[in-house]
Structure 1
Amino acid sequence: MPERIKILIADDHQLIIEGILSYLKDIDNLEIETTNSCDEAYGKIKVALTENPFDILFTDLSFDNTDAGCRIDSGENLIKTIKQEGHPIKVGVITGHSETNRIFNVIQNLNPHAYLLKGKCNTNELNFAIQKMLANEVYYTHEIHQKLLKRALIEIQMDDVAIQILKELPNHPKISNLEGIITKDDGSFLKIRSIENKLAKLRTDLQANNNTDLVLKAKELGILD
């Protein structure tokens, strides 16, 4: 008989946990535990290390049930703690957070083996993600993969001038005020016509309706802080 796969699910909403369990019940050879807090998840992982360690942790990112007594108050901090301490467990994210900037930061900084979206995963996807994780490979659900791809393509199109314009745009009520501020590679200032042309291209690339929308899109993609 194949070795059982031990999984821990951490989410502060019990209904979400029940939904995930309903999908996992159709997958063979799983041993599953659940918890509603990051502190308890961390404790379970530590205790299990000595005899029967967990193979996989699936965690949400945001936990609303935290208080001043919590040591670990978010899924990000739980993942960070586990990785810093070198625990031999594969980590996957199951969350409702689909903002490109949040996704990019989590994947860039924490390198989870999987990133799935609540309400959109099913038995087949979870099974596929589990197999990928056990093989030390990554799995991002299609929507996540598409958002990362779009951000990467936009980032390739971003040069220093574009970044300057996007950063300065919220600080000036008139586009003409940017003349004498935006510089080219040789240190000379960009003329207003060139700034306007660059803005028009940026609005097209980021599918923005206007300059305010452009800045919001840049922030959503993580191009601006």
Structure 2
Amino acid sequence: MFKKVLVAEDLDSISITVIQVLEDLKIPFIDHVKYCDDALIKIKKGIIDNEPYDLLISDLSFKSDHREINLASGEDLIGAVNEVQPAIKKIVFSIEDKSYRIKSLFNDFKINAYVSKGRNSINELKKAIERAYENEEKILSSDLSFSFTDKTLIEIESYDISILKLLAQGYTLENISNEFKANCILPNGTSSLEKRINKLKIYFKANNNVHLIAIAKDFGLV
């Protein structure tokens, strides 16, 4: 079983539950932080001391307060950890249930398991930890029903996500074009953007831009 585990969770009630699961699994060293920045510092220190953590369990959402931070979310933390210790096992423990976002965590952030917070989350988390230790891949709690082989959303690219997010913020076609030009994102012409938006409306079977944004929100894209 894992020897050294770091828990990144800002709610005491949740962290107590996670730590109890780890204690039940007889894990000898358990550490807990409430800030992603602190988690990264501990990960780096473990590497320097030649006593690295072998498992990170992290939430996705962290409430902001008076403290200035560099890493604001679980994605930010996992991305930063992957740069310094890519081999560490990573489990996300969150209420997020949008299939696109969860798939992105596996595909882009290389997490090992995703456990949804819910009625049976303690048992699900315990199983995920055990399976991650056995080197199983793409471990998903049983209350999440989507399939990794489902082709839905596979064709959606980060470029499309950027367009959808700006549309959701009320940007016009010209505004999006200017934003893309300012950030050197191609293609950025209004004609190209309009064609892309029309393609997205066909893909999602949306009647108009408002309908498109509503569907994108349902999928967790924006």
Please indicate the TM-score interval, normalised by the length of the shorter structure.
Answer: 0.5 to 0.7
Answer yes or no: is the 8 Å Cα contact 1:9–1:35 preserved in 2: yes
Which of 18, 21, 24 aligns to 1:23? It is 21
Answer yes or no: is the 8 Å Cα contact 2:2–2:55 preserved in 1: no
Quote the Cα distance in structure 2 between the aligned partners of 1:202 and 1:91. 36
Correspondence for 1:8: 6
Aligned length: 182
Amino acid aligned to 1:88: A
- Structure 1 residues without counterparts, runs of 5 or longer: 172-180, 183-197, 204-209
Quote the Cα distance in structure 2 between the aligned partners of 1:112 and 1:62. 16
Classify 1:123/1:15 alpha carbon distance in 2 versus 1 (closer, same or farther; 3 Å): closer
Alignment map for 1:1-225 (pairs within 5 Å): 5-49=3-47, 50-65=49-64, 69-138=68-137, 139-144=139-144, 146-149=145-148, 152-155=150-153, 216-221=214-219
Normalised by the length of structure 1, the TM-score is: 0.64
Correspondence for 1:192: none
Answer yes or no: is the 8 Å Cα contact 1:101–1:219 preserved in 2: no
Quote the Cα distance in structure 1 between the aligned partners of 2:91 and 2:10. 16
- SS of the residue aligned with 1:143? coil
Normalised by the length of structure 2, the TM-score is: 0.65
Amino acid aligned to 1:21: I
- Structure 2 residues without counterparts, runs of 5 or longer: 165-171, 173-193, 196-201
- SS of the residue aligned with 2:26? coil
Amino acid aligned to 1:102: R
Quote the Cα distance in structure 1 between the aligned partners of 2:103 and 2:71. 22
Classify 1:147/1:86 alpha carbon distance in 2 versus 1 (closer, same or farther; 3 Å): same
RMSD: 3.6
- SS of the residue aligned with 1:58? strand
Determine what percentage of the aligned residue pairs are the same residue: 28
Aligned-pair CA distance for 1:214: 7.2
Aligned-pair CA distance for 1:137: 2.3
Quote the Cα distance in structure 2 between the aligned partners of 1:24 and 1:68. 29
Displacement over 6 Å in runs of 4+: 210-214
